[in-house]
Amino acid sequence: MRALDGETFVMSGPPRATLRDDRGARDAAILDAVTKARRDADAYASAVGMRINGITGLSNACSADAISSFAELAERAMDSRRSEAAAYTVKTEAKACVEFAASPL
């Protein structure tokens, strides 16, 4: 690429952007992650004749998911290089690792 003043510069990878205020998007992503975790927990508990009583633990850092997280990051990097549109998309995600208490029905 050439700048307007004729100088040559190299841009490696897509431009990076962040939201000035991502609190609303993050809150929505967190709510979605916890809601999905609860829905899955209810399904598992029901399958074994139990019900969910409450939450015993909550975190956004899941050690068992570390390897898959790295794989997801690598995949996203490759996807962003394949698509010009991806360079201009802001996606907010949240992960919720929830431990639920269950009891017999």
* pLDDT given for residue 2 in this prediction: 47
**How far is it, in rounded angstroms, from Cα 30 to Cα 38?**
12
Structure tokens that stand for 39 in this block = 């829905």
* pLDDT given for residue 64 in this prediction: 58
Structure tokens that stand for 78 in this block = 């490759």
Q: Is the pLDDT of residue 8 over 70?
A: no
**How far is it, in rounded angstroms, from Cα 23 to Cα 29?**
10
CB 79 within 8 A of CB 86: yes
Average pLDDT over residues 2-19: 57
* pLDDT given for residue 84 in this prediction: 54
* pLDDT given for residue 10 in this prediction: 54
∠84-31-20 over CA atoms, to 5°?
50
Average pLDDT over residues 50-74: 73
Q: Is the pTM of this model over 0.85?
A: no
Helices (H), 48-98: 66-82
Per mean pLDDT, which of 16-20, 52-56, 83-87 is the most reliable?
52-56
